[in-house]
Amino acid sequence: MSRTAEHREDGVLPTSELKVVVGAAYAALKARAAKIDALNVYPVPDGDTGTNMLLTLRSVMEAVSASPDLRGEAAAKAVSRAALMGARGNSGVILSQILRGACEKLGHAHSLDAKALAEALGGAKERAYSAVREPVEGTMLSVVKDAAAAAQALVEGGKSDPVEVLREAARAAHESVRRTPELLRVLREAGVVDAGGYGVAVILDALRASLAGEELVIDGDDDEAVPNEGLLKNTVEHSAEEAWGYCTEFVVNGFYGDAEEFGAWIHEVGKSVLVIPDDDLVKVHLHTQDPGGAISYAGGFGRLSGVKVEDMEAQTRARVEHEAREAPTVDLGVVVASRGAGNRSFFESMGAVVVEGGQGANPSTEDFVRAVAKAGARTVILLPNNKNVVPTAEQVASLVEVEVRIVATQTIAGGLAAMVGYDSEGEPEEVVDEMREIVSGLRCGEVTRAVREARVEGREVPEGAYIGLLDGEIVAVEQGVEDAAIRLVEKMLEEGADVVTLLRGYGMDEGSAKGVAEKIRNLDGAIEVEVKDGGQPLYPLQLVAE
């Protein structure tokens, strides 16, 4: 079936068909997500571009499935909003703006012809560029720009076949992806192409195939994207940390087999796992993205009963809609993105609503919108606590009715320091100023681990090495976590400090953290040092000097 230029007075983009088109794009991107995740510039474990783009499309897919009778402007609006609600991370937000820009044009079209598609790509480009304060070439922005220009040129050259327009756009996009390392030094140094740009090209391929009524062949070998295999392993691991999925429950009756192996497997594939043995029964509860896989695995250990699978995203959505109706009751609230049990309790004890997410598992715009509703305040301050979460947080203001102020914290430790300036009973603008002033005086350090060998800013980083980042720049590369921390601390304190806070995460034991604290005291006895057990993953240590 071909979905080409039929004239419709009531608009194009019927959601019933969009479901198929977006589904195709989703499937194509999903097949490539791990690969895109792996196209990671910094050898730190934040390669989640593919996952983030996928989640944006997933949200769109669900929205069009939920409302199968829309078309024209209404359908365009539904898609734009769903994309934004699902947007996580920089790449997710830019993709949502690409979709929005395209939908704004297509929403007014009466036929899905060549000209309309070229205009849609033009709209996508415009929105993508305006979503970013300082557009950088060699990223998904360049790719969508080149695709739009190629489509436009084709239409101006008199071509009228819409499928051909998309084919040309996809071709130009792939070519543009290959050029990204020429445009961006960090890509060149890391020896990769831009991950988000590659994702855009993959989506265009899928749209072209879907419009032509073809089945898209997803082969394993792409010319332009050839990341290191070792990295793939790592990224699969952290995409499993995503919170969404299906709440799955069942009972295994007459359990036989290795209970320990069974438990370990369930823990491996799930989150919020409960495995409760009772006589020859085992009750199981887990959150997973693959309930079918878990159920069929468990079927090998006995007969199953009480199988229940619930889509937590649907539950969440219902709750959001309910919560959003509640009017704010207080003047000022604060919402933070954070990871780790310790960190959560610190923020909550200071009056914050915590959105779980950050490095490796970016929270979505929707997560923030929900948390803002929960804060129940007329003005809500957002602390992203991560560079990659800032763009998501920035979208929130347009989706909620209350005032939103962002204090652009870059690390969890920095966010905690900023919270010291938070006063729920203060004058909102004064509190925001106070918190921003604190942040401007912070130096933020992080110790993390290289997930692959790399060369960054002229420095060799072996796989598995501990990296010390100071305000985002690599200042230490060491084999041991404590060595990296100490080297980082020496750099951090070159300009002196009054107070240093250490936030211990996975991968650093208490003794090491205390050793680092002792080192700081030895460097300068007047410095007050505080060690907290944050429990964040991926960062054995975060530090903040004030």
Partner 1 sequence: MTMAIVTDSTTTLPEGVQERPDLLVVPLTFGFGPDETYTDKVDLSNAEFYEKLKTSSRFPTTSQPPTGAFVEAYESLDAYDDVLVLTLSSKLSGTYESALSAAGMVDRSVEVIDTKSAEMGSGLILLEVLRVADEGGSFEEVKRAAEGAVRRCGMFFAVGTLEYLEKSGRIGKAQRLLGTALDIRPVLRLEDGEVVPHKRARGRKRQMASIVDEVKPLIESGSQIAYGQVNAYDALSDLRRELGTSGRFVAEIGGVVGSHVGPGAYGVAYL
Enumerate binding residues for partner 1 (CB under 8 A).
345-347, 349-350, 416-417, 419-421, 423-425, 438, 498-499, 501, 528, 530, 532, 546
Q: Minimum distance between the CB of residue 439 and partner 1, rounded to whole angstroms?
A: 12
CB 271 within 8 A of CB 298: no
Q: Which of 321/524 has CB closer to partner 1?
A: 524
Question: How far is C-alpha 402 from the geometric centre of its chain's CA atoms?
Answer: 24
Cα gap 272→219, rounded to integer Å: 35
Q: Minimum distance between the CB of residue 544 and partner 1, rounded to whole angstroms?
A: 9
Q: Minimum distance between the CB of residue 349 and partner 1, rounded to whole angstroms?
A: 5
Q: Which of 316/345 has CB closer to partner 1?
A: 345
Q: Minimum distance between the CB of residue 546 and partner 1, rounded to whole angstroms?
A: 5
Using CA atoms of 407, 409, 413, 419 in order, give the dihedral in degrees to the nearest 10: 0
Q: Which of 140/541 has CB closer to partner 1?
A: 541
Q: Which of 110/532 has CB closer to partner 1?
A: 532
Question: How far is C-alpha 500 from the geometric centre of its chain's CA atoms?
Answer: 29
Cα gap 130→126, rounded to integer Å: 6
Cα gap 379→382, rounded to integer Å: 10
Q: Minimum distance between the CB of residue 526 and partner 1, rounded to whole angstroms?
A: 8
Q: Minimum distance between the CB of residue 345 and partner 1, rounded to whole angstroms?
A: 8
CA atoms within a 13 Å half-sphere pointing along the CA-CB vector of 44: 21
Give, as one character, the DSSP assignment of residue 363: P
Q: Minimum distance between the CB of residue 436 and partner 1, rounded to whole angstroms?
A: 15
Determine whether 10 is exposed, middle or buried from the number of CB atoms within 10 Å of its CB (0-12, 13-18, 19+): exposed
Q: Which of 106/419 has CB closer to partner 1?
A: 419
CB 374 within 8 A of CB 323: yes
What DSSP string runs through 386-441? SGGGHHHHHHHGGG-SSEEEE----SHHHHHHHHTT--TTS-HHHHHHHHHHHHHT
Q: Hey, is 530 helix, strand or coil?
A: strand
Q: Minimum distance between the CB of residue 425 and partner 1, rounded to whole angstroms?
A: 6
Cα gap 501→532, rounded to integer Å: 7
Q: Which of 301/347 has CB closer to partner 1?
A: 347
Q: Which of 253/345 has CB closer to partner 1?
A: 345
Q: Which of 398/440 has CB closer to partner 1?
A: 440
Q: Minimum distance between the CB of residue 341 and partner 1, rounded to whole angstroms?
A: 13
Would you state the structure tokens that stand for residue 173, as one six-digit string? 């996009």
Q: Minimum distance between the CB of residue 181 and partner 1, rounded to whole angstroms?
A: 43
CB contact set of 101 (below 8 Å; sequence gap of 6+) = 120, 123, 124, 125, 126, 127, 128
CB contact set of 398 (below 8 Å; sequence gap of 6+) = none
CB 304 within 8 A of CB 253: yes
Cα gap 170→199, rounded to integer Å: 11
Q: Minimum distance between the CB of residue 390 and partner 1, rounded to whole angstroms?
A: 23
CB 99 within 8 A of CB 126: no
Q: Which of 216/420 has CB closer to partner 1?
A: 420
Q: Minimum distance between the CB of residue 528 and partner 1, rounded to whole angstroms?
A: 5
The dihedrals phi and psi of 358, each to the nearest 5 degrees, come to 165, -135
Say which amino acid occupies 280: D
Cα gap 368→92, rounded to integer Å: 14
Helices (H) and strands (E) in the chain, counts: 20, 16
Q: Which of 137/429 has CB closer to partner 1?
A: 429
Q: Which of 166/531 has CB closer to partner 1?
A: 531
Say which amino acid occupies 546: E
Report CA Rg, the chain: 24
Residue 252: enclosing H or E segment and its boundaries? strand 246-253
Q: Which of 385/501 has CB closer to partner 1?
A: 501
Residues shown for the chain: 546
Q: Minimum distance between the CB of residue 195 and partner 1, rounded to whole angstroms?
A: 35
Q: Which of 192/444 has CB closer to partner 1?
A: 444
Q: How big, in percent rounded to 5, are the helix, strand and coil portions of the chain?
A: 50, 20, 30
Q: Minimum distance between the CB of residue 469 and partner 1, rounded to whole angstroms?
A: 21
Q: Which of 304/350 has CB closer to partner 1?
A: 350
Give, as one character, the DSSP assignment of residue 67: -
Parallel, antiparallel, or unpaired: how do β-strands 466-470 and 443-449 relate?
A: antiparallel
